[in-house]
Amino acid sequence: MSKAKAKAKQVKGKIKEAAGKTADDRSMQAEGRGEQLRGKAQETAARAGERVKKSPNK
């Protein structure tokens, strides 16, 4: 997954979490937080993959 898609997932999670707070829906809030965490993990993995590709010790 690309960094851009991972960032988009994080933003979507933030929106979902905020909507859950507004609607007082704890389940939606938790879903949003989970989506943010998955997005952060995917972004970290994408960054690590880029570092490996740029590594001079191939």
The amino acid present at 12, given as its one-letter code, is: K
pLDDT attached to residue 16: 97
Distance CA 25, CA 38 (A): 20
pLDDT attached to residue 43: 95
Count CB-CB contacts under 10 A for residue 2: 12
**Cα angle 28-41-13, degrees, rounded to a multiple of 5:** 25
pLDDT attached to residue 8: 95
Distance CA 20, CA 11 (A): 14
Distance CA 26, CA 29 (A): 5
pLDDT in tens, 8-44: 999 999 999 999 999 999 999 999 999 999 999 999 9
pLDDT class of 51 with cuts at 50, 70, 90: confident
Count CB-CB contacts under 10 A for residue 24: 8
Position 58 pLDDT exceeds 70: no
